[in-house]
Amino acid sequence: MAASKRLSAIFPCLEWAREYNRETLINDLTAAVIVVIMLIPQSLAYAMLAGLPPEVGLYASILPLVLYAVFGTSRTLAVGPVAVASLMSAAAVGAVVKQGTAGYIEASILLALLSGAFLMLMGLFRLGFLANFLSHPVISGFISASGILIAFSQLKHVLGISASGHTLPQVATSLAHNLPDVNGYTLAIGAGCLAFLYFVRLRLSGLLQVFGVPESVAGFVVKAGPVLSVVATILIASTWQLDAEGVAIVGAVPEGLPTLGLPAIHMELVRELALPAFLISVIGFVESVSVAQTLAAKRRQRINPNQELIALGAANLGSGVSGGYSVTGGFARSVVNFDAGAQTPAAGVFTAIGIAVATLFLTPLIHYLPKATLAATIIVAVLALIDFRMIRATWIYSKRDFLAMAATILLTLGVSVEVGVASGVTLSILLHLYKSSRPHCAVVGLVAGTEHFRNIRRHDVETCDTMVTLRVDESLYFANARFLEDQVYRLMAENEKLKHVVLMCPAVNEIDASALESLEAINHRLEDAGVKFHLSEVKGPVMDRLQRSHFLDELSGQVFLTQYQAYRALANGEPCRSNKAPTGGHNEA
Amino acid sequence: MAASKRLSAIFPCLEWAREYNRETLINDLTAAVIVVIMLIPQSLAYAMLAGLPPEVGLYASILPLVLYAVFGTSRTLAVGPVAVASLMSAAAVGAVVKQGTAGYIEASILLALLSGAFLMLMGLFRLGFLANFLSHPVISGFISASGILIAFSQLKHVLGISASGHTLPQVATSLAHNLPDVNGYTLAIGAGCLAFLYFVRLRLSGLLQVFGVPESVAGFVVKAGPVLSVVATILIASTWQLDAEGVAIVGAVPEGLPTLGLPAIHMELVRELALPAFLISVIGFVESVSVAQTLAAKRRQRINPNQELIALGAANLGSGVSGGYSVTGGFARSVVNFDAGAQTPAAGVFTAIGIAVATLFLTPLIHYLPKATLAATIIVAVLALIDFRMIRATWIYSKRDFLAMAATILLTLGVSVEVGVASGVTLSILLHLYKSSRPHCAVVGLVAGTEHFRNIRRHDVETCDTMVTLRVDESLYFANARFLEDQVYRLMAENEKLKHVVLMCPAVNEIDASALESLEAINHRLEDAGVKFHLSEVKGPVMDRLQRSHFLDELSGQVFLTQYQAYRALANGEPCRSNKAPTGGHNEA
């Protein structure tokens, strides 16, 4: 039993496979058909976004799906090529190999393998928590900025002109410069597709329902929109041989399934792609897990983030060995899969079979597919990623979070995706540490007639000239240890009559080695100045740890169980003084 | 008055200059004489450690001291070349320019200028808090490892052999390999000096006092130990012309004071030295401030860390323009200065004058100074930096802190000083974030007959099947936001009858945008599953901020002032259940 449990922790598919029945099969098959129809144009389009031939997108939608179905813990996550990872792949590989060469494809495949290896290792070492350091404003800002960048990068295909660059200013300048070369046929197809796709997305479902079409059928038609535009523009381009008129088409696509194998692995290339591969892994993982969690919660299921790392790692390794590129869980397709009624990851296996069949038989048909159609598909998909509302909400809620978000957006657009996300993460960590390096501290006094102690700046309290009590509302650790020292020395310099300093610790959950060192320094320095140092209300586990050091032996004063005991013992006989709180809010302790 | 106050914030010297009198002058002069005697051999020795000619060490002990006296807030800090900064300078410059060339000196000067610029900028932008991210175990480990590295790097001078390398294994291998070439005369001088200096340091003061010499005189003689060994070995080497026997001597030293000027500044070199310059700045600053704070506290004075950055910045810029190299506040010399009775930074100015006089008149005399003498001086000084006791104490106190310390030590010894300290800082931040990413959480229940709620795993409490209350003992921010989600979803998956989830927030001092997003996600996902989400005991400032978002409008449940009110309202009419705490400690809440 334990062995079977351990086995199904590694292969979560054993869990659901046991209960698989006819009903589940029908649900999964239905969902798979809908996802296949959605995934074919997306796979072709995202491959183009990643600077790769269309078949690479299809290859990335076969084996990875099967492997995710075996290892994944989400019942409904749909993996495959996605917009942001494709953009990051293009940026990373484009920085080291020229696009359009065989080396470019090999490097993209290598990037997927490296991503897969990182994800797998992170899963095996249970490092899923690393993704927690990507704060929400940073991810949200990064995705919005990527959306803008992707949309701009695809405009050239819609306009039929060339444009280059990896930053928004570069792309925009390049577009503006080449604008006179715009190809009318291409623009007609691209703009037509854009208009059609927006119409389908925003209006068609409502319109069909007005005409009495059932909601489920209407929903299906909406999802088939991109496929319809693909079919229509292939027919148009092939009928009028528009490639002769300068309309860029997909061209010859190799037939048949991918062969398994590894690309040539150069250590130099591995070094250059390692950092981007890591970033793609982490961002893909975060996106994927948050989609998976959202969907799982709706059915009261759970996912296991560390096992998800392994599953996504396997999917990327699978993609790499079968000629595909970086994959992760996609938001839109997972929601479609879920809504279409997928019950188990078997739906993913059926989707993979569907894509494989398409790869086998349909590739000759996409020869005349205009690139403008694919670009329009991408633009419509990524514009949905741009979230101005969230930017505004973050500004209102927290300036600190907004700062991290703004840095991420500006650097992603202006420098590079990697610099953008790395700076955002670093900045949000630094801002957090900065804040906790200046914890809330209050000098407290006794509320007359009670045993309670409150901030002397907010409450009418009693104090004593020869003792001062400082309460710190945060754990003590390296980033705030010196701040604490500084507070105590300030109190000492300001109060000439001082004989006792009490540190009140009810909110201190931890004292690390740096803070211990600071407490020791405070103790010695106060002692040199003839002042005794005391602690009060130290929590049990913190006290246990202090007992492992010499601090308590050397402490010039005492450790009091309660602040009231400390006050009674130390103020003994000394004259007390009443403090009037300055006018102002009483809503803080 | 306000203007004068502002002026004396920029020039703290205005503060003490006003009260300067004859008594202060005598105290400062006495201290300066003692410090000069100590600083001359140290300046020569540390210049050698930094791979520089001896006069560069003297130059670094003139103008920087004057500038620190003008801008510094510590009354007794003594700046100048120090061991660790010299080692770091040698490592940084040695990585880009070959030692012994004119370019090497220029690069060392440039490094001091860059350090000065960094310190100045950090001071102007009030970034002194950045130094807080150097945890004590990391600094302590780094200094110990540097001490070991320095001692090993100087052994070659004591043995009279050559050795190369920047890591401990490299230096040790190189020493072992060249051991057969040991020069007997050099070894005799080196070992003799080591023995003499250790004797002076450990025994002489006691011995003199036994013979009735007053303590103050004995102390002075001890401080003059290095100067005595310098004078003695110069006499020995010149009398017997030991340079002809293979004893390495200092040789010709340019006479006169340094001329002011800037080195040629190549942008390439600036780029390569920027990171080491930053690290030297931060480490020098941390060391300097902690010495200054210790000494200031003894006299109930205060120092201003941001002004210290400006003062140290000015000192390094001054060092750079006057042909010196990286300087910072030194521990030993500051203590000597303090003990000798220095009252104001004027002591530093007098020290500078003393060194200038020495530079003018004494440089011809040090021609025959054996390098082995300087190496012995360095070794004795740095072995005092190695703190095995602290390593042991950290191991006992906290395994997490020990991990950061061990990484710093091993990487400093085995890879490079920069990698060592950078990895230590990164690791301690990551370990801290990791810990706070998994905050203490407890499901709580009502202690029967009271209004208190306690951990159900530690106390006998009453709970209710349809509601569960989770208390989080930490502020909610990006690193623990998903952990919180995970905890709630686990509770939801485990309790089928659940209708209400209450998040009890008495210890939550902040909810950042990521945590807000998680709370919104929890709210929506619980709602989808038919469960209401409530908060209780939310602090005032946290509530204020939540009101700036839409969260409270969308919250499916309520915000309760106290947990007891929440329990009474939500458990209303539902059957309650008594929980027996599992056997085990009751010492946690």
**b/e code B424-457 from CB counts within 10 Å (16+ = b):** bbebbbebbbbbbbebebbbbbbeeeeeebbbbe
The residues pairing with A443 across neighbouring beta strands, listed in sequence order, are A470
Q: Which residues on B lie below 8 Å from A474 (Cβ)?
A: 509
A508 falls within a domain:
yes
Residue with tokens 């017997």: B240
- Picking from B133, B397, B529, the nearest residue to A516 by CB comes out as B397
pLDDT of residue A386: 87
Chain B nearest C-alpha distance from A436 (Å): 10
SS3 (DSSP) at A496: coil
Chain A nearest C-alpha distance from B399 (Å): 10
Cα distance from N-terminal residue to C-terminal residue, chain B: 54
Is B548 in Cβ contact with A396 (below 8 Å)?
Answer: yes
Chain B nearest C-alpha distance from A306 (Å): 12
B143 falls within a domain:
no
Is B129 touching A (CB cutoff 8 A)?
A: yes
pLDDT of residue A588: 46
pLDDT of residue A482: 83
pLDDT of residue B588: 45
CB count within 10 Å of CB A95 equals: 14
Within 8 A by CB and 6+ apart from A241, the residues are: none
A178 and A49 inside one domain? yes
Domain span at residue B215 reads 21-134+184-383
CA–CA distance, B491 with B513 (Å, rounded to integer): 24
Q: Which residue of B has its CA nearest to A138?
A: B514
The yes-or-no verdict on residue A40 having pLDDT over 70 is yes
CA–CA distance, B60 with B577 (Å, rounded to integer): 76
Instruction: Tally the domains of chain B.
Output: 2
- For B392-482, strand residue ranges (E) read 441-446, 453-455, 461-464, 467-472
Q: pLDDT tens string for chain B (589 positions)?
A: 466 677 777 788 777 778 788 888 888 998 898 888 888 888 999 999 999 999 999 999 999 999 999 999 888 899 999 999 999 999 999 988 988 888 999 999 999 999 999 999 999 998 887 777 888 888 889 889 988 998 998 999 999 998 888 899 999 999 999 999 999 999 999 999 999 999 988 888 788 888 888 887 887 788 788 889 999 999 999 999 999 898 999 888 888 888 888 888 888 899 999 999 999 999 999 889 888 877 877 777 778 888 999 999 999 999 999 999 999 998 888 888 888 888 888 999 999 999 999 999 888 888 899 999 999 988 988 888 888 888 999 999 999 999 999 999 999 999 988 888 889 988 998 888 888 888 888 898 988 888 778 888 878 888 888 899 998 888 899 888 888 988 998 888 888 888 999 999 877 888 999 899 899 989 988 898 889 999 998 877 889 899 999 999 999 999 998 888 999 899 876 667 777 766 544 444 4
- Picking from A296, A513, A587, the nearest residue to B401 by CB comes out as A513
Interval A543-552 mean pLDDT: 91
Cα distance from N-terminal residue to C-terminal residue, chain A: 54
pLDDT of residue A196: 93
B206 and B89 inside one domain? yes
Do the Cβ atoms of B282 and B130 come closer than 8 Å? yes
A-to-B residue pairs, Cβ atoms closer than 8 angstroms: 176
B191 falls within a domain:
yes
Q: Which of B285, B441, B517, B523 to mutate to test the interface with A (most CBs of A within 10 A)?
A: B517
- Picking from A133, A486, A510, the nearest residue to B479 by CB comes out as A133
- Report which of residues A236 and B417 the model is more confident about: A236
pLDDT of residue B218: 81
Report residue B274 as tokens.
Answer: 């920027």
Chain A nearest C-alpha distance from B133 (Å): 5
Is A98 touching B (CB cutoff 8 A)?
A: no
The residues pairing with A500 across neighbouring beta strands, listed in sequence order, are A467, A532
A7 falls within a domain:
no
B354 and B456 inside one domain? no
- Picking from B432, B485, B545, the nearest residue to A397 by CB comes out as B545
Which of these, B45, B384, B380, B381, lies nearest to B194 by C-alpha position? B380
C-alpha separations of B342 from A76, A514, B25, B473, B493 in Å:
74, 30, 9, 49, 69
Which of these, B344, B320, B301, lies nearest to B117 by C-alpha position? B320
Helices (H), A73-183: 83-94, 102-124, 136-159, 168-178
pLDDT of residue B573: 66
Least confident range of A77-86, A111-120, A302-311: A302-311
pLDDT band at A416 (very low <50, low <70, confident <90, very high): confident
Q: Which residues on A lie below 8 Å from B297 (Cβ)?
A: 489, 492, 525-526, 528-529
C-alpha separations of B192 from B159, B188, B241, B247, B250 in Å:
12, 6, 18, 14, 18
A8 falls within a domain:
no
Report residue B313 as tokens.
Answer: 């910045």
The yes-or-no verdict on residue A336 having pLDDT over 90 is no
The A residues from 194 to 253 touching B (CB cutoff 8 Å) are: none
CATH of the domain at B466: 3.30.750.24
Which of these, B412, B436, B435, B434, lies nearest to B423 by C-alpha position? B412
The B residues from 477 to 516 touching A (CB cutoff 8 Å) are: 477-483, 485-486, 489-490, 492-493, 507, 509-510, 512-514, 516
- Report which of residues B268 and A302 the model is more confident about: B268
Residue with tokens 């969230």: A390
Q: Which residues on A lie below 8 Å from B518 (Cβ)?
A: 136
Is A434 in Cβ contact with B134 (below 8 Å)?
Answer: no
SS3 (DSSP) at B469: strand
- B267-298 and A478-494 are packed helices; what angle lies between their axes, rounded to 10 degrees? 40
pLDDT of residue A519: 94
Chain A nearest C-alpha distance from B452 (Å): 17
The yes-or-no verdict on residue A238 having pLDDT over 70 is yes
Q: What is the pLDDT of residues A14-31, one digit of tens each?
A: 777 787 888 888 889 988
**b/e code A2-18 from CB counts within 10 Å (16+ = b):** eeeeeeeeeebbeebee
Q: Which residues on B lie below 8 Å from A528 (Cβ)?
A: 297-298
Report residue B42 as tokens.
Answer: 């140290």
pLDDT of residue A2: 61
CA–CA distance, B500 with A225 (Å, rounded to integer): 42
pLDDT band at A158 (very low <50, low <70, confident <90, very high): very high
A310 falls within a domain:
yes
Which of these, A333, A340, A334, lies nearest to A303 by C-alpha position? A334
Helices (H), A384-507: 388-397, 399-414, 417-436, 478-494
Do the Cβ atoms of A575 and A550 come closer than 8 Å? no
A175 and A201 inside one domain? yes
CA–CA distance, B468 with B497 (Å, rounded to integer): 10
**b/e code A266-296 from CB counts within 10 Å (16+ = b):** eeebeebbeebbbbbbbbbbbbbbbbbbbbb
Its pTM stands at 0.78
Mark which of B383, B417, B432 sits at the end of a domain: B383
Residue with tokens 């070995």: B233
Which of these, B214, B166, B185, B191, lies nearest to B49 by C-alpha position? B166
Do the Cβ atoms of B127 and B86 come closer than 8 Å? no
Chain A nearest C-alpha distance from B301 (Å): 7
B377 and B466 inside one domain? no
Is B306 touching A (CB cutoff 8 A)?
A: no
B419 falls within a domain:
no
B94 and B221 inside one domain? yes
Is B512 in Cβ contact with A398 (below 8 Å)?
Answer: yes
B251 and B353 inside one domain? yes
Q: What is the pLDDT of residues A344-379, one digit of tens each?
A: 889 999 999 999 999 998 888 888 999 999 999 889
Q: Which residues on B lie below 8 Å from A428 (Cβ)?
A: 478
- Picking from B492, B517, B587, the nearest residue to A136 by CB comes out as B517
The residues pairing with A559 across neighbouring beta strands, listed in sequence order, are A535
ipTM: 0.77
CA–CA distance, B438 with A303 (Å, rounded to integer): 18
B119 and B231 inside one domain? yes
Q: Which residue of B has its CA nearest to A405?
A: B513
Q: Which residue of A has its CA nearest to B295?
A: A525
- Report which of residues A341 and B312 the model is more confident about: B312
The A residues from 132 to 161 touching B (CB cutoff 8 Å) are: 132-137
Is B493 in Cβ contact with A301 (below 8 Å)?
Answer: yes
Dihedral sign (CA B344, B349, B353, B355): positive
A420 and A449 inside one domain? no
Q: Which residues on A lie below 8 Å from B437 (Cβ)?
A: 129, 132-133
Q: What is the pLDDT of residues A186-198, one digit of tens each?
A: 999 999 999 999 9
- Picking from A305, A473, A529, the nearest residue to B509 by CB comes out as A473
A287 and A394 inside one domain? yes
- Report which of residues B155 and A541 the model is more confident about: B155
Mark which of A429, A454, A487 sits at the end of a domain: A429
Chain B nearest C-alpha distance from A527 (Å): 9
Is A434 touching B (CB cutoff 8 A)?
A: yes
Q: Which of A290, A396, A398 to mutate to test the interface with B (most CBs of B within 10 A)?
A: A398
The yes-or-no verdict on residue A589 having pLDDT over 50 is no
Chain A nearest C-alpha distance from B291 (Å): 11
Q: Which residue of A has its CA nearest to B473?
A: A509
Report residue A293 as tokens.
Answer: 């969690």
- Picking from B136, B481, B492, the nearest residue to A478 by CB comes out as B136
A57 falls within a domain:
yes
Is B432 in Cβ contact with A396 (below 8 Å)?
Answer: no
Q: Which residues on A lie below 8 Å from B548 (Cβ)?
A: 396-397
Mark which of A399, A429, A459 sits at the end of a domain: A429
Is B541 touching A (CB cutoff 8 A)?
A: yes
Report residue A465 as tokens.
Answer: 């000239």
For residues A417, A423, A425, A427, the Cα torsion angle rounded to the nearest 10 degrees is: -150
Q: Which residue of B has its CA nearest to A291?
A: B521
What φ, ψ does residue B357 adopt, rounded to 5°? -60, -45
Q: Which residue of A has its CA nearest to B391?
A: A513
Q: Which of B74, B126, B129 to mutate to test the interface with A (most CBs of A within 10 A)?
A: B129
- Report which of residues A100 and A399 the model is more confident about: A399
Q: Which residue of A has its CA nearest to B481?
A: A132
A87 and A194 inside one domain? yes
B247 and B331 inside one domain? yes
